[in-house]
Amino acid sequence: MVGIAGGFSFPTIGAAEPTAEEKRIDAAIVNALQFLSREQMPSGAWRIDAYGDSTAATSLAVMSFLAAGHVPGEGPYGQQIERGISWVIDHQAENGMIVHQKSHGPLYSHGISTLMLAEVIGMVDTSLVGPVRRALENAVRLILDAQNVPKKSSHEGGWRYQPTSRDSDLSVTGWQLLALRAAKNVGCDVPADSIERAVEYVKMCSLANNRGFAYQPGDRTSATRTGTGILALEICGAHHTPEALGGADFLLERPLEFSDQYFYYGAYYSNIGMFKIGGRHWESSKSHLTDVLLDKQADDGSWTADDGSERAAGRNYCTSMAVLALAVEYRYLPIYQR
Among positive and negative, which fits the CA dihedral 15, 28, 328, 125? positive
- pLDDT tens for the chain, 338 residues: list them: 445 554 434 344 455 788 999 999 999 999 999 999 999 999 999 999 888 999 999 999 999 999 999 999 999 999 999 999 999 999 999 999 999 866 668 999 999 999 999 999 999 999 999 999 999 999 999 999 999 999 999 999 999 999 999 999 999 999 999 999 999 999 999 999 999 999 999 999 999 899 999 999 999 999 999 999 999 999 999 999 999 999 999 999 999 999 999 999 999 999 999 999 999 999 999 999 999 999 999 999 999 999 878 999 999 999 999 999 999 999 999 999 87
Question: Could you tell me the sign of the dihedral formed by the alpha carbons of 238, 239, 245, 250, in that order?
Answer: positive
Query: Residue 15's pLDDT is what?
Result: 59
How far is it, in rounded angstroms, from Cα 232 to Cα 300?
33
Radius of gyration of the chain measured on its C-alpha atoms: 18
CA distance 33 to 90: 24
Distance, in Å, from the CA atom of 65 to the CA atom of 285, rounded to the nearest integer, reads 23
The confidence score (pLDDT) of residue 310 equals 93
Q: What is the pLDDT of residue 278?
A: 97
**pLDDT for res 105:** 87
- Please give the torsion angle defined by the CA atoms of residues 169, 46, 264 and 184, in that order, rounded to the nearest 10 degrees: -50
